[in-house]
């Protein structure tokens, strides 16, 4: 190891005045309400999407039944046979 003649820097979790910056950051982060509205809107959009997907499943089976009825009716008529 090459010596620079300086004392090595020791990383501490406490600042010179005795405060803990990581602890203050964590406390401020927990108290912060920034972004809470965006999260709430995201949850609402997610619930609406889930409801639409669930509704689309039942609607698609009804639409499929209508088209199947049309196909069966056209097959019975046999206009080209």
Q: What residue spans define the domains of the chain? A: 42-80
Q: What is the structure's pLDDT at 43?
A: 94
pLDDT, tens digit (0-9, with 9 covering 90-100), for 30-70: 787 777 788 899 999 999 999 999 888 888 888 999 999 99
What is the pTM (predicted TM-score) of this model? Answer: 0.41
Q: Which of 7-16, 21-30, 51-60 has the highest mean pLDDT?
A: 51-60
3 state SS of 55 = helix
d(CA 44, CA 58): 22
């Amino acid at each position: 190891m090459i010596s620079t003649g300086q004392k090595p820097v020791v990383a501490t979790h406490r600042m010179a005045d005795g405060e803990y910056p990581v602890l203050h950051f964590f406390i401020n982060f927990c108290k912060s309400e920034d972004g809470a509205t965006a999260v709430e809107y995201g949850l609402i959009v997610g619930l609406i999407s889930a409801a639409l997907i669930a509704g689309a499943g039942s609607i698609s089976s009804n639409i499929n039944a209508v088209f199947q009825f049309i196909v069966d009716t056209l097959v019975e008529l046999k206009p080209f046979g």
